Amino acid sequence: MSNATHSFDALMEITSRPPTVFVRGEGSLLWDDSGKRYLDFIQGWAVNCLGHSPPAIADALAAQAKLLLTPSPAFYNGPSLALAKALTDQSCFDQVFFANSGAEANEGAIKLARKYGALHRNGAYEIITFEGGFHGRTLATMSASGKKAFEPLFEPKVPGFPKARLNDLDSVKRLITEKTVGVMLEPIQGEAGVWPATDEFLQALRALTEAHGLLLIFDEIQTGMGRTGKLFHYEHAGIEPDIMTLGKGIGGGVPLAALLATDKASCFAHGDQGGTFNGNPLMCAAGLAVLAEVSKPEFLKSAIDAGLFLESELQRISARHGLGEVRGRGLLLALDLKHPIGASVVAQALADGILLNSPQPDALRFMPALNVSREEISQMIDGLDAILTRMGAARRVA
Ligand SMILES: *Cc1c(COP(=O)(O)O)cnc(C)c1O
């Protein structure tokens, strides 16, 4: 496959991609190599929390690149120490291990829980996870995921991940045995189509895991870093997990992820965990720039306002076109389309210069930059409204 200037054949075909090549981004806007402009409500899959190529990140990377790229993970470096300190100061956790991707951070969380089981729970190793959950694409994180499409792939899977149902405490209780060491979940299931765990469920899960001496592990790779209106989603429920993973937004567009643990759960010994690029100063410098911005109270306040505006505009569109509910929190929202028209809406939006995502055939997911403006939200809504009007007209004619 190719377009006017590029051949695409040398890249492995791991997903279906439009024949578009992006060359530049700024805030909520992207440009392709033909000069066409797009309004981006995907942002690298909830990654670019400050928008495309924000000066704060570009400057931090340029300054750090001139100083030190990496000294080796067997030595300390300033940015990783500063970022670990800042993350622990602003969360309920005491220690951090930096990784390069969300899946790698989750692998670390799984290993940490198994280590805890070996040390404190007679070798218990099972981690209860959830139907519909998504934790990454390494073998263990695919095994921990509850994504139906993963089930037949790459057998045999890593054992030890019995699946419960979200917001169903009895389904968790039934799976607890002497082999159980923890419970791991996304507080909002993102890939599955933005299905939130209720605050009450999260509170009950905390009480249940505490009563059984189990670790509670939050995968906040999508929900963390202000995405849902708090710096970390667990704050909404007023509880404290034992382990949390961050990814996506923490690097604001560069590969950075983190595994955080309380003193109780942080039990790695020398040799248990590591990695060549983990905690390298270049990516940690970007992480510091992101955290400095996102943790400002006025930044979170305006992200919350933007989320409420987007939610009410989506509700208006839904009522106008007879669609379903709007789900989610902050700037992680989904619109239930009630019909399997997601792929078609996304394709038409791309043609119209709007980037949207359909994680499930009957839903759209919205994950714009956290500093998206009201005007940009209104532009996207107008574009979506026009597409739905055209499709409604087409359906009535058909
Ligand atoms: C994206 C995501 C991951 C995987 O992160 P990668 O950086 O793609 O490995 C894991 N968990 C959740 C909740 C995610 O949204």
CATH number of the domain enclosing 116? 3.40.640.10
CA–CA distances in Å: residue 220 to residues 17, 231, 244, 315, 366: 27, 10, 7, 26, 17
| Angle between helical axes of 374-397 and 342-351 (0-180°, round to 10) | 120
Read off the pLDDT band of 227 (50, 70, 90): very high
How far apart are the C-alpha atoms of 302 and 304, rounded to whole Å?
Answer: 5
From 294, 321, 338, the end of a domain falls on: 294
Residue 344, in any domain of the structure: yes
Same domain flag for 204 and 305: no
pLDDT of residue 4: 78
Q: Which residue's alpha carbon is nearest to atom 5 within ligand 1?
A: 102
Question: Is the same domain home to 143 and 92?
Answer: yes
CA 45 to chain centre: 7
> Which residue, judged by its Cα, is nearest atom 11 of ligand 1?
135
Ligand 1 site, CB within 6 A = 101-103, 106, 134-136, 186, 190, 219, 221-222, 247-248
| Residues sharing a CB contact under 8 Å with residue 349, sequence separation 6 or more, in sequence order | 355, 356, 383, 384, 387
Determine, yes or no, domain membership for 50: no
| Three-class secondary structure of residue 288 per DSSP | helix
For tokens 């070798």, what's the residue? Answer: 123
pLDDT band at residue 184 under the 50/70/90 scheme: very high
Evaluate whether 165 touches 185 at the Cβ level (below 8 Å): no
CA distance 321 to 384: 11
Residue 67 covered by a domain: yes
Same domain, 241 and 214: yes
Query: Is residue 32 annotated as a catalytic residue, yes or no?
Result: no
Tens of pLDDT, residues 275-297 = 999 999 999 999 999 999 999 99
Residue 181 φ/ψ, nearest 5 degrees: -115, -20
Written as six digits, the tokens of 223 are 């929900």
Q: Average pLDDT of 215-232?
A: 98
- The DSSP bridge partners found for residue 152 are none
Q: Determine, yes or no, domain membership for 307.
A: yes
Domain holding 340, by residue range, is 298-370+379-397
Distances (CA, A) of 388 to 22, 145, 333, 341, 356: 26, 33, 18, 10, 13
Q: Are residues 326 and 189 in the same domain?
A: no
Are residues 201 and 140 part of one domain? yes
134 catalytic residue (yes or no): yes
Closest ligand 1 atom number to CA of residue 189: 13
Q: Which letter does DSSP use for residue 146 in this model?
A: -
- Which of 94-98, 357-361, 375-379, 389-393 shows the lowest mean pLDDT across its residues? 389-393
Give the domain-ending residue among 271, 294, 317: 294
d(CA 190, CA 186) in angstroms, rounded, equals: 8
222 and 272 part of one domain:
yes
- Residue 252, pLDDT > 80, answer yes
b/e sequence 261-270, b meaning 16+ C-beta within 10 Å = bbeebbbbee
Q: How far apart are the first and last CA of the chain?
A: 33
User: Which residues, at least 6 apart from 260, have a Cβ–Cβ distance to it below 8 Å?
Assistant: 87, 88, 91, 93, 95, 96, 243, 244, 245, 246
Distance between CA 189 and CA 183 in Å, rounded? 15
- Is the pLDDT at 132 greater than 80? The verdict is yes
User: Are 262 and 332 in a shared domain?
Assistant: no
Select the more confidently predicted residue: 6 or 107: 107
Shared domain check, 302 and 282: no
Of all residues in the chain, the percent with pLDDT exceeding 90 is 96
Rounded distance between C-alpha atoms, residue 327 and residue 375, angstroms: 22
Same domain for 194 and 320, yes or no, is no
Beta strand segments in the chain, E: 22-26, 29-32, 37-40, 95-99, 126-130, 163-164, 180-185, 188-189, 195-196, 215-219, 243-246, 257-261, 326-329, 332-336, 354-355, 357-360, 363-366
Question: What pLDDT does residue 89 have?
Answer: 98
* Boundary (domain end) residue, out of 275, 294, 313: 294
Same domain, 288 and 330: no
Whether the per-residue pLDDT at 306 is higher than 80: the answer is yes
Q: Active site includes 248?
A: yes
Residue 5 in any domain: the answer is no
Which atom of ligand 1 is nearest the CA belonging to 222?
15
pLDDT of residue 173: 98
Pairing of strands 243-246, 332-336: unpaired
Provide the CATH number for the domain around residue 346: 3.90.1150.10
Tell me the pLDDT tens digit for each residue of 136-172: 999 999 999 999 999 999 999 999 999 999 999 999 9
Task: Indicate the number of domains in the chain.
Answer: 2
- In angstroms, rounded to a whole number, what is the distance separating the alpha carbons of residues 383 and 385? 5
Q: What burial letters (b/e) apply to 164-173, b meaning 16+ CB within 10 Å?
A: bebbeeebbe
Query: pLDDT confidence of 211, banded at 50, 70, 90?
Result: very high
Q: State the distance from the centre of ligand 1 to the C-alpha of 257, rounded, in angstroms.
A: 9
> 397 pLDDT exceeds 80?
no
In this structure, are 82 and 181 located in the same domain? Answer: yes
Best mutation site among 15, 137, 221 for ligand 1 pocket (most ligand atoms within 8 Å of CB): 221
| 382 CA → ligand 1 middle, Å | 30
CB atoms within 10 A of CB 210: 12
Residue 396 has what pLDDT? Answer: 74
Mutating to test ligand 1, I would choose from 49, 135, 254 the residue with most ligand atoms within 8 A of its C-beta, which is 135
- % helix, strand, coil for the chain, step of 5: 40, 20, 40
The pLDDT-based confidence of 398 (bands split at 50, 70, 90) is: low
Q: How far is the CA of 134 from the centre of ligand 1 (A)?
A: 7
Span from the CA of 137 to the centroid of ligand 1 (angstroms): 8
- Say which DSSP state 328 is in: E
Q: How confident is the model at residue 382 (pLDDT cuts 50, 70, 90)?
A: very high
Q: What spacing in Å lies between the alpha carbon of 9 and ligand 1's midpoint?
A: 26
What's the CA gap between 157 and 148, in Å, rounded? Answer: 14
Amino acid at 390: R
Is 217 part of any domain?
yes
Catalytic residue among 219, 232, 242, 366: 219
Query: Which element (helix H / strand E) includes 200?
Result: helix 199-212
Least trusted range by pLDDT, from 108-112, 132-136, 392-396: 392-396
Does one domain contain both 303 and 276?
no
**258, part of any domain:** yes
CB 209 within 8 A of CB 184: no
Is residue 35, in this structure, part of any structural domain at all? no
